[in-house]
Structure formats: structure tokens, C-alpha cells
Structure 1
Amino acid sequence: MNIAIHFIVLLACTVLCSSTVIKSCQCLKTSRSVDVSTISDVKVYNVRPYCSKKEVIVTLKDQRSRCLDPQSKFTQAVVKTMQILRAQQALKMNTTVPKPTQ
């Protein structure tokens, strides 16, 4: 009986451990730059509990992803430019255009 209980507990632990996704850093290899005209989106991930480094991932127009070196001047310029573009887009969405009166 004791062995059966141990087996059931072990089986339950195995199922629980194998069903959870263990997250890790997404960028194993980084590039120093990419062609700017092919970038469609930029995501910046700061240090997280499961990844001890900052990651910058660009999505290209052909839906591929590339990891950029967060320390390179190119990457810092791309991130800054995307922040400015997003701020301008947010401003446009919040600005109302007055309707002409008759």
C-alpha cells in the first residue's frame, strides 16, 4: 500500500512538472544591426526572473524576428526612434479634429 501511494504522488509530481513551461531568455544570439527599412516592430524586454539580461527583439516585415545587441548604438537608436514614433501615434489618436460648423 505504501509503495502505491508513493507511486501516485510521484506520478502526480511528474505530470505537474512536465506540463509547466519553463521560460528562458529568447535571445541566444544577437545581431549588431539589421536593415532599418525591414523593421516593422521593436520589443524591449528588461531583466526578468527567468532571464538575467535585457533583450531587444525586432520583428521584420516578413514576420521573422531578430535579436539585437542592447548595448550597440544602432539598437539604442532604433529603440529611441520607435519610442518617438509610438508617442507621436498616441498623440494623433488623442487629438480630436474639430468638425466644421455651418
Structure 2
Amino acid sequence: MSDAAPALLVILITILLPPVGVYLVAGCGADLFINICLTLLGYIPGHIHAFYVEYVYFDRRERARHGQLAGRPAPGVYADRVQNGGFQGYGTM
């Protein structure tokens, strides 16, 4: 399976239900809550937010694979998983 397959699957799910797409990349948190509210306000704002969160996630994931560090946190994205592209950094115990 290629690396593009999961991204394509998430995009197809997001077209139908934007909050589900956000949940798949960001988990349950502020980004999901914001997307649910935006989707309830209108289907288009929910899509815009969902695709933005997914773009940040997949872009940061690709950069991390190439050893490039993301400079600043992406504005409007609150999930650490999205900010670091799904990779866990070195932490302390």
C-alpha cells in the first residue's frame, strides 16, 4: 500500500463527514469540537477547517520523514499529533 492511500481515504471520508476526517488525524480534542461547531454552522466552513487540519498533518508528517523540523506551530491547530505529523518527540518522564 502506498503512502498516498491513507491520505486519499481520509480525504474521501472528509468529503462525506468532515468531523470524522478531523477525528482520524487529530483525535478527540479541541480541533474536533471546533470542526463539529463549524459543520453545524454550515457544511463549507466544516470542510475548510477539516482540510486545513489534514493538510497540516500530512505536510508535517512528510517533512518529519525527511528530517525537516517544522518551525512554528500551525495557527488554528491545537492537537499536538497534528502539529508534529503524528510522530512523538523525545520527552521526559
Instruction: State the structure with bigger RCO (CA 8 A, min sep 6), 1 or 2.
Output: 2
| Greater gyration radius | 1
TM-score (norm. length: structure 2): 0.33
Which structure has greater helix proportion? 2
How high is the TM-score relative to the length of structure 1? 0.31
Q: Which has the higher strand share?
A: 1
